[in-house]
Structure 1
């Protein structure tokens, strides 16, 4: 440990790293573990991933070619035909066993998440929570979501109609690096429950976490060939996944999401996209400022701000702005940065040089154009190669890049407003529409403001966790933040094809019983009037 790190650990610097954990990367990512996790991964080449905590290599990995991707889809397609015949309750039971395994063996995956993303352990645990909740929900509710449904037919009693749900086949999933457990297997669970196979391309730098989840699902009873993983560069492997899939699930940037959507549209296959955000938090004048300041820390700096639904724009009523910012800045300056594979650090690292460069560029551009740094604003290579202090910028204006571009790092910009109308208008003045947050003591007022915000989720008196964690309700983006939804009925039904089976009984849908065309038309007209009178839907 350097002298500087020693001083920080003893507390002379409020942004001090947490004490180092006893385990190292080599202790966690052993050759035996890598061999176990990469078993069955198609790859003719070799690649590697690294930990952002130190920059050192974690593992050598298979690298998939386009031919490997095609073979993975062939194997998945053969396995899916068998898996789809398994009763839905037995498929769902796999998810419930997986739920128990994740919770009982969470220490293993927490180490992997931290090593691959650099995030603090408590933020890694958010992924464990989210996956367990999704596994429990779809494990319990999949059968109800997928059951055949009776509908009123064209002619009541004579037309019997049933809606069936069939799996799409093989889902191609492209998962991001920032939440390598939740945004990989978390999205795959409802696809499996619906009877699909999945070919997943996780980000190579965070693929060990996704592979660990695959290994656990197989242990829980999922047939191995139903869940295929391919690894490699996004521009090479990603389009191949889209080219073979029966449905595409993508989480990532808006720019890449447009390319994925175009590829899926060319083949007339469905797609769901969760994309970027420039999420706003509104602190109304009647908010509890201490709770709002603590909530802002969670909303802005969890996973070092590398979360699609984290807050990057903070709108505060002008009458309480100074009091709120005093509290918020003090809490932010007190955060502890750390590399420990243990609880204790408040924030971890950025994932790599690209993210560090983006954060640095946004902060330096804002400061050069007149913004004031209320907290942070500095890289911390003394802790790790990609650490950056949690940063609050005041006096941000339109010429600054941070004002409109997604930063995806621990940086939040502060703006003042004078009325609810102004706050809503400014919060909505972005092409994105993923998540937002409203803070007020007046529940009714909070709901009224929330309904006016053009985002797929809105949280009142919290940043993002309540809406995301409420898995019976849909989650997703408006505008440039995406298409489709995860969670709830939409989160599983999107992985199915709806089929309507109509059984006509006794009389045909045509002239009969001696009626000519004119009498049949008159009969049907009277019937339609009666159905409206008796309130048939």
Structure 2
């Protein structure tokens, strides 16, 4: 059983909302929603104890259309804004996020139910992303000279133009990272953004928007609408010049289909059933600690968290003992400070999914090594970090994403078996490999079918390497965020080729036959001299 946490005096305010989440703050943020003055309202509750939290106006399809109209008008001026000025705005945003992080941490915890530690990692993420794109956008977006068709005679330049207005649909599980990071790259590329965050965590997204405008972003360049996808999803697709979606694979397939019909691009980060491989030469204590960090951050509600653990038979007993012992020591509870290790699930539906997956597995013969039950004594949506073994293919948890604090342990004899079993899934988002031999770990990692693979780390090494692309293979999505791809996907490439003196067609004084022979000879000479 995970340790129950009794709030310290410093955390006594956990029985209500944190001090920084004031009526004035809530009023200011909800006023940022693009909706009609007489709009219907929707409320949200804080997961920890069910307190009323947000009271939002609901955007209609007409509101979304109006938001696109205003964003498109503002985008033309924003695209003409020098990148140096965009950079200044983004670096001011960076400073504001760090300076006002207590507000962000309180909002994220209040809306999502995660721990302070997990919320802080989102602040770090946005700091890194905003600084990276502020300081690298000019390099990625500046005109590039390319080799011309005819050396010396063809002057060829690659230009990058913004797509226009980007739709960002962001999820509830990482309400700051997913709301702001994709908007940052799109904005730095010169686009406007119309965003629909999940209603449950819309306050955090609106806080990001509020700070971006305080940093100097021109009016209407970034708009946020609130509503159900079934109501406003069509309008969000209809107005988009590009779609950025993070969420379920089922929804991603529909968005990809709709984007295809409109012939616009889409980037999709979707589901995962992420594996971790513990090789026979792994440092077991470090691997066990790494498994805790891989499986239980944000109560397992993390797209890159691990749900499948493959452990070499020769070290299984030692690893399982260490992992179970560390898991049982985790403090689970509600606190707006850093005193707990595992927080709450976010929604009743997520609690139902976790409960159903574990109960189904147990009923079919799985063994619970740690956790395995909800904790209503701590709050309505708490569930203990859970380790299962003896999991078999007929159990739902075997190959379906749980998206909660549940992991299944399997053993293997040979590394080929581990790689094959790790790859035996339609998903391919993230993976983790543990070995004392870095070269061996990297060699195994290169054979795992996943967009990011971490060696001797859970997910943060790859995620935090912002200069490298991050995204999924297979049913885990299309496209990449971070790095050059993370900003160039929001642009249209244009080639401008200026031909000077002579082109491919012969001048009037030379016959076509002679000209063909001359060009043929030129091509042979270019090959002989290694011309590319």
Indicate the residue corresponding to 1:35 in structure 2: 27
Distance 1:523 1:344 in 2: 78
SS at match of 1:161: strand
The TM-score with structure 1 as length reference comes to 0.96
- Is the contact made by 1:243 and 1:264 (CA closer than 8 Å) also made in structure 2? no
Runs of 4+ in 1 over 4 A off after TM superposition: none
Indicate the residue corresponding to 1:84 in structure 2: 79
Indicate the residue corresponding to 2:3 in structure 1: 15
The TM-score with structure 2 as length reference comes to 0.97
Indicate the residue corresponding to 2:344 in structure 1: 349
Indicate which of 46, 50, 61 corresponds to 1:51: 46
Indicate the residue corresponding to 2:17 in structure 1: 25
- Is the contact made by 2:33 and 2:56 (CA closer than 8 Å) also made in structure 1? no
- Is the contact made by 2:142 and 2:159 (CA closer than 8 Å) also made in structure 1? yes
Structure 1 position 14, deviation (Å)? 5.0
SS at match of 1:180: coil
The 10-residue stretch of structure 1 (503-512 or 459-468) with the greater mean CA deviation from structure 2: 503-512
Indicate the residue corresponding to 2:262 in structure 1: 267
Distance 2:111 2:530 in 1: 59
Indicate the residue corresponding to 2:279 in structure 1: 284
Structure 1 position 224, deviation (Å)? 2.7
SS at match of 1:454: coil
Structure 1 position 26, deviation (Å)? 6.7
Distance 1:49 1:14 in 2: 28
- Is the contact made by 1:18 and 1:344 (CA closer than 8 Å) also made in structure 2? no
Structure 1 position 379, deviation (Å)? 0.2
The 10-residue stretch of structure 1 (305-314 or 338-347) with the greater mean CA deviation from structure 2: 338-347
The 10-residue stretch of structure 1 (20-29 or 167-176) with the greater mean CA deviation from structure 2: 20-29
Structure 1 position 531, deviation (Å)? 1.8
CA RMSD of aligned residues (A): 1.1
Specify whether residues 246 and 14 from structure 1 end up closer, same or farther in structure 2 by C-alpha distance, changes over 3 A only.
closer
SS at match of 1:61: strand
- 2:482 paired with 1:494: no
The 10-residue stretch of structure 1 (498-507 or 524-533) with the greater mean CA deviation from structure 2: 524-533
Indicate which of 154, 173, 179 corresponds to 2:174: 179
Specify whether residues 18 and 134 from structure 1 end up closer, same or farther in structure 2 by C-alpha distance, changes over 3 A only.
farther
Mapping 1:151-300, distance limit 5 Å: 151-300=146-295
The count of corresponding residues between Structure 1 and Structure 2 is 525
* 1:175-209 deviation line (CA, Å, top 9, x unaligned): 00000000011111011100000000000010000
SS at match of 1:463: coil
Indicate the residue corresponding to 2:327 in structure 1: 332
The 10-residue stretch of structure 1 (232-241 or 474-483) with the greater mean CA deviation from structure 2: 232-241
Specify whether residues 206 and 501 from structure 1 end up closer, same or farther in structure 2 by C-alpha distance, changes over 3 A only.
same
- Is the contact made by 1:201 and 1:237 (CA closer than 8 Å) also made in structure 2? no
Mapping 1:343-422, distance limit 5 Å: 343-422=338-417
SS at match of 1:396: coil
Structure 1 position 36, deviation (Å)? 1.3
Structure 1 position 338, deviation (Å)? 1.5
Indicate the residue corresponding to 2:311 in structure 1: 316
Distance 1:288 1:508 in 2: 64
Q: Which runs of 5+ in 1 are unaligned?
A: 1-12
Structure 1 position 18, deviation (Å)? 4.7
- Is the contact made by 2:21 and 2:103 (CA closer than 8 Å) also made in structure 1? no
Indicate the residue corresponding to 1:457 in structure 2: 452
Distance 1:478 1:60 in 2: 38
Structure 1 position 22, deviation (Å)? 3.8
Structure 1 position 515, deviation (Å)? 1.1
Indicate the residue corresponding to 2:440 in structure 1: 445
Distance 1:403 1:310 in 2: 15
- Is the contact made by 1:181 and 1:209 (CA closer than 8 Å) also made in structure 2? yes
Q: Which runs of 5+ in 2 are unaligned?
A: none
Distance 2:512 2:364 in 1: 78
Distance 2:313 2:89 in 1: 52
Indicate the residue corresponding to 1:8 in structure 2: none
- Is the contact made by 1:283 and 1:315 (CA closer than 8 Å) also made in structure 2? yes
Indicate the residue corresponding to 2:91 in structure 1: 96
SS at match of 1:276: coil
